[in-house]
Amino acid sequence: MDALETRRVRDLVYETFVREGRAPSIAELARLTSSSVDAVQERLTELADAHALVLSPDGDAVRMAHPFTAAPMAFVVTPLDGLDDRRWWGGCAWDSFGISAALGLDVRIDTACPQCGSHIGFDTGPTIAPRPQLAVRFPRPAASWWDDVVGTCTLIRMFCDQDHAGRWTTQHAPGSGQVVAATTVWRLAQPWYGDRVDPDFHPHTREHNQRLLEDCGLTGDFWRLP
């Protein structure tokens, strides 16, 4: 029963993000599950320990439920359907593609290049690849993504092209990170996040996710999951 109740809390978090672009409060989750605030807090902590979501530094609110984030970050994701007025914050370039994949929705992604400050805006979706010249920089190896997952997401940024990503790295973090084509990250996001809000979603195993990385050509020590 505890496992079912924990899953219910998890699903409600995702349902609220999908529907309203925000995270539900702990009090709201308690009301929706007819349980106490303390019980919900315990279930959220359990989910955070399992990397099913991320809590705020004080542990009293949902900060992220990948690919969704509750706080403004560098990406805005907007449905292409003009009748759909939902909006989401993308925690990073990968998560922004992930929102589209999870919802099966064509979207517009807006951000800015960290190197030159230029606006980057483009349409994408499950079958719409981003512009081929765009590049994404990953700041640290896969084995340490969850050491500071919000910090990791903050620095998975989109650049105008590989040259801008390389110049930014030389100026701000020489010798670190990896730069890949945005089309590669888009391809990775489809299976990584495509089932995230499905009713029968089950967490992927490490081996499954490692294969997803390898299928996109992301191999070697930098891309080895813990």
Q: How far apart are CA 156 and CA 137, in angstroms?
A: 6
CA–CA gap between residue 75 and residue 96 (Å, rounded): 7
At residue 126, φ and ψ (nearest 5 deg) are -55, -30
Options 3.40.190.10, 3.40.50.720, 3.30.160.150, 3.30.450.410; which CATH number does 75-223 get? Answer: 3.30.450.410
Q: State the Cα–Cα distance between residues 8 and 164, nearest whole angstrom.
A: 44
Alpha helix (H) residue ranges in the chain: 2-20, 26-33, 37-49, 93-103, 149-154, 162-172, 182-193, 206-215
> For residue 190, which amino acid is it?
Q
Residue 186 corresponds to which amino acid?
A: W
Helix (H, G, I), strand (E, B) or coil at 178: strand
> Which 3 state secondary structure label does DSSP give 122?
strand
The pLDDT value recorded for residue 82 is: 87
pLDDT of residue 1: 57
The pTM of the full predicted model, rounded to 2 decimals, is: 0.96
Which token pair is 177?
A: 């990170």
Q: How far apart are CA 110 and CA 38, in angstroms?
A: 38
Residue 79 forms beta bridges with which residues?
107
Structure confidence by residue, pLDDT tens digits, 128-145:
999 999 999 999 999 999
Q: H-helix or E-strand containing 108?
A: strand 107-112
- Paired tokens of 218: 């992301």
Which residues of the chain fall short of a pLDDT of 70?
A: 1
Q: Hey, how many other C-beta atoms are within 10 angstroms of the C-beta on 114?
A: 17
CATH architecture of 2-63: Orthogonal Bundle (1.10)
Domain boundaries, the chain: 2-63, 75-223
User: Which pairs from 110-117 meet CB under 8 Å and 24+ separation?
Assistant: 110/75, 110/76, 110/78, 111/74, 111/75, 111/76, 111/157, 111/158, 112/74, 113/158, 113/159, 113/160, 113/164, 114/157, 114/159, 114/168, 115/159, 115/160, 115/164, 115/165, 115/167, 115/168, 116/160, 116/164
